[in-house]
Amino acid sequence: MIANMVQALNHALDLTMKQDENVVLLGEDVGVDGGVFRVSDGLIQKYGQARVIDTPLAESGIVGAAIGMAVYGLRPVAEIQFMGFVYPAFNQIVSHLSRMRNRSRGRFQLPVVLRMPYGAGVRALELHSESTEALFCHIPGLKVVVPSNPYDAKGLLIAAIRTDDPVIFLEPKRLYRAGRQEIPEEDYAIPLGSAKIVREGERLTIICWGAMVAQVQKAAERVEDDGIFPEIIDMRTVSPLDHETIIQSVKNTGRAIVVHEAPKTCGLGAEIAALINERALLSLEAPVLRITGQDIIVPLPKREDYYYPTPERIVRGIKKTMEF
Amino acid sequence: MTVSIDNYDPLKGDMFQIVNEKGEVRTDLEPSLSEEDLREIFRFMVTTRVADTKALKLQRQGRMGTFAQSLGHEACQIGSAYALAKEDWVVPYFRDLGTYIVLEYPLRQWFLYWMGNEKGGNIPKELNLYTITVPVGSQLPQAVGLGMAINIKKGKAAVLSTFSDGATSEGDFHEAMNFAGVYRTPNVFLCYNNQYAISMPRAKQTASQTLAQKAIAYGFQGILVDGNDVLAVYAATKEALLKAKKGGGPTLIEAYTYRMSNHTTSDDALKYRTEEEVKEWAKRDPVDRFRIYLGKKGLWNDEIEAKIVKEAETFVDKEVQEAEKTPPLSAEELFIHVYADMPLKLKEQLEELKTEVQENGQ
């Protein structure tokens, strides 16, 4: 089937709900409206309002309820309408969702998926463009997943729903309808924690995820004429990170750039640069470069383009690293 | 059962009571409990007080960490827990020793938890008991999630969750009550109104005349109950649980009581309240009141008291010994329950820690 990311995600929800009656959806406008981005479109008609639950406007309540449901044996997939609205639920996520397995010594596991559209680039209102994955990657007990294309979106969401740990599932809303792709009709899962080399290359590794993958790919095409062929790693899961794929690639290429949309300070770029320093320092021909969102509040639409890494900014970074 | 929550209007300040401070009984409201039940309830109350006193001693001797005493809450804890059926779920808060005792949670584990050992959190599989929640009120949306799941799976259970007056100011209280009302979940919210949230008196916590009346705004019933009357707490909780299981929706019970202890062992309540006030409330002691009630029925005298106390002390001492003998978690045990399968980074950190431990000879 040909699908954009919204359709691929919808298909993943549909397949998992069909296969396992313990899978339930909840969130604001996820039922009758099918979600504000239509990711759950049509599912309430198929599975009923007992399993596709329109909730009151209450993020902490949504996550808290999902936790209680999971303790009872359900596998809730909760939607937070925008990543910038997750903060009221932070206590539930950090104090309970991530810890219940440990606190109960394994008695209660929480197979909860929190889906959230994230990221800039869609000309949205304040707090609709955030990319704060690092906040979640810092918390032991959570897994954090970010797909970059429809095929991965479907396979990763299916894997996330079947994982016995809580997963923060970040959907790059800029890519929701950005492109269509042939994806299998059937059920398939992409294991969490495994990165993918989306383009093999030499002399430089670029590490990225989510909406930045397409930006990096564009930049890579533009430097071909300069004889530069970077290897591109799409992390797909940003917690836990696939250390082996990163280190192996950097050992082969000798240079690394991390590109992320989130602000630079304490972003995952810092974590990945430190990891490379710890394990591949002697392979490096140049410092690990971070090309990231600015350490500023994400601007409103008129100046949004100054915020996140563009292919132009990435090309400049590539040249700087190659010329070091 | 003849409580009929309907007959008590929180907006009029009606309070459901069966045994008053003088031990006088409203026989028309007495729950149908056998003599054996009454003895059992008393035994649980005494055991709770003995364990609570023992824990305070251990804390003062440095053998236990900071903990929240239950003194004065025995009627709330035991009355409500005794009303539970085996299939019901309990979502307690951090001041619920009596609840654990009624559920026959291994007491050694209760001590272990407050001694700072995670092994205390290992809830036996046969108990539908939730973990202890530290952030105030944050267990309430989860309790409602359990209720929603029971509805979805067409289960037969109800969910009892406890908290105190301070928790009613938290946003999570509002979100939980609202969800419970909207989805008509089988939840019983039991608020121990013990008059203080650390130093903050009840009057400053909310301008509502009662806490029970808050239920009205969420579209379900609230009832104010004398929280020092174990029979009243039992009867109200029992009715609310049965109602929940029949699809009658949630209930908020405000159990009007008093925190006779400090907030925790790290607190000094005389900084914000007077000894006179504490003495006044001591006259309404829930265990004393039940003694009078049992005495009138010929179920209590000094001899019975001495026997029960002795049994409780023997039991508690044995559990404390077991807790103190229990080693802390191994390095491995610290790591195994973070994720279902240990990620590589944790495996590496664990190996490093094990080497460190071995080198340090610990």
Considering the domain architecture, whether residues B69 and B96 belong to the same structural domain is answered as yes
Q: How many CA atoms lie within 13 A of A59 on its CB side?
A: 18
Considering the domain architecture, whether residues B291 and B348 belong to the same structural domain is answered as no
Which is catalytic among the residues A96, A128, A138, A260? A128
| Tokens matching residue B358 | 């071995």
In degrees and rounded to multiples of 5, residue A262 shows phi and psi of -70, 160
Count of CB atoms situated within 10 Å of the CB of B91: 28
Closest in A70, A71, A102 to B337, CB measured: A102
State the nearest Cα–Cα gap between B298 and chain A, in angstroms.
Answer: 43
Considering the domain architecture, whether residues B95 and B30 belong to the same structural domain is answered as yes
Chain A neighbours among B 91-150 (CB < 8 Å)?
A: 118-119, 121-123, 125, 130-135, 138, 140-150
Considering the domain architecture, whether residues B294 and B356 belong to the same structural domain is answered as no
Contact assignment for B153 to A140 by CB distance below 8 Å: no
Q: Using 50, 70 and 90 to split pLDDT, how confident is the model at B1?
A: very low
Show which residues of B are catalytic. Answer: 259, 263, 272
HEC secondary structure over B203-261: HHHCCCCCCCCHHHHHCCEEEEEECCCHHHHHHHHHHHHHHHHCCCCCEEEEEECCCCC
Average pLDDT over residues B154-165: 97
Of B254, B91, B248, B88, whose CA–CA distance to B184 is shortest? B248
In degrees and rounded to multiples of 5, residue B54 shows phi and psi of -60, -45
Contact assignment for A61 to B179 by CB distance below 8 Å: yes
Alpha carbon distances (Å) from B316 to A5, B48, B100, B321: 59, 9, 13, 9
List chain B residues with CB under 8 Å of A143: 339
Domains held by chain B: number: 2
From CA A262, how far away is CA A63, in angstroms rounded? 24
In this model, does residue B3 exceed pLDDT 90? Answer: no
Total residue length of chain A: 324
Average pLDDT over residues B114-135: 95
Q: B330-344 pLDDT, tens per residue?
A: 999 999 999 999 999
Considering the domain architecture, whether residues B297 and B319 belong to the same structural domain is answered as yes
CATH of the domain at B292: 3.40.50.970
| Tokens matching residue A6 | 């919204």
Structural domain for B343, as ranges: 330-362
Considering the domain architecture, whether residues B212 and B352 belong to the same structural domain is answered as no
- Which residues, at least 6 apart from A262, have a Cβ–Cβ distance to it below 8 Å? A131, A132, A133, A134, A268, A292, A293
In this model, does residue B2 exceed pLDDT 90? Answer: no
Structural contact between residues A152 and A204, judged by C-beta atoms closer than 8 angstroms: no
Closest in A96, A104, A106 to B142, CB measured: A96
Q: Using 50, 70 and 90 to split pLDDT, how confident is the model at B148?
A: very high
Strand partners, B254: B191, B224
Considering the domain architecture, whether residues B341 and B312 belong to the same structural domain is answered as no
Considering the domain architecture, whether residues B263 and B344 belong to the same structural domain is answered as no
Strand partners, A77: A25, A113
State the nearest Cα–Cα gap between A301 and chain B, in angstroms.
Answer: 32
Structural contact between residues B293 and B231, judged by C-beta atoms closer than 8 angstroms: yes
Contact assignment for B125 to A243 by CB distance below 8 Å: no
Q: Which secondary-structure segment (H or E) carries A238?
A: strand A237-239
From CA B354, how far away is CA A246, in angstroms rounded? 26
Q: Which secondary-structure segment (H or E) carries B159?
A: strand B159-164
Q: B289-326 pLDDT, tens per residue?
A: 999 999 999 999 999 999 999 999 999 999 999 999 99
Considering the domain architecture, whether residues B350 and B244 belong to the same structural domain is answered as no
| DSSP 8-class letter at B272 | T
Question: DSSP H helical segments within chain B, as ranges?
Answer: 35-60, 74-82, 97-102, 107-115, 140-152, 171-183, 202-205, 214-218, 230-245, 275-282, 286-296, 302-325, 331-336, 344-360
Contact assignment for B131 to A60 by CB distance below 8 Å: no
Q: B186-244 pLDDT, tens per residue?
A: 999 999 999 999 999 999 999 999 999 999 999 999 999 999 999 999 999 999 999 99
What pLDDT is attached to residue B4? 80
From CA A161, how far away is CA B222, in angstroms rounded? 38
ipTM for the predicted complex: 0.96
Buried b (16+ CB within 10 A) or exposed e, A278-296: ebbeeebebebbbbbbeee
In degrees and rounded to multiples of 5, residue B317 shows phi and psi of -60, -40
Q: B79-110 pLDDT, tens per residue?
A: 999 999 999 999 999 999 999 999 999 999 99
- Which residues, at least 6 apart from A13, have a Cβ–Cβ distance to it below 8 Å? A23, A25, A39, A40, A43, A77, A157, A161
Average pLDDT along chain B: 96
Domains delineated in chain A: 2-182 (3.40.50.970), 196-323 (3.40.50.920)
A193 Ramachandran zone, left/alpha/beta (phi>0; psi -120 to 50): left
Considering the domain architecture, whether residues B359 and B257 belong to the same structural domain is answered as no
Considering the domain architecture, whether residues B84 and B96 belong to the same structural domain is answered as yes
Total residue length of chain B: 362
Of B94, B105, B97, whose CA–CA distance to B132 is shortest? B94
Contact assignment for B131 to A24 by CB distance below 8 Å: no
**Number of H helices and number of E strands within chain A?**
11, 14
Task: Determine the 3-state secondary structure of A279 from DSSP.
Answer: helix
Considering the domain architecture, whether residues B357 and B256 belong to the same structural domain is answered as no
Of B65, B146, B130, whose CA–CA distance to B93 is shortest? B130
State the nearest Cα–Cα gap between A102 and chain B, in angstroms.
Answer: 5
Structural contact between residues A2 and A180, judged by C-beta atoms closer than 8 angstroms: yes
What pLDDT is attached to residue A256? 98
What pLDDT is attached to residue B362? 67
From CA A276, how far away is CA A246, in angstroms rounded? 8
Question: DSSP H helical segments within B61-170, as ranges?
Answer: 74-82, 97-102, 107-115, 140-152
Instruction: State which residues of chain A have pLDDT below 50.
Output: none
HEC secondary structure over A66-128: HHHHHHCCCEEEEECCCHHHCHHHHHHHHHHHCCHHHHCCCCCCCCCEEEEEECCCCCCCCCC
List chain A residues with CB under 8 Å of B112: none
What is the model's pTM? 0.96
Tokens 């925190």 sit at which residue? B259
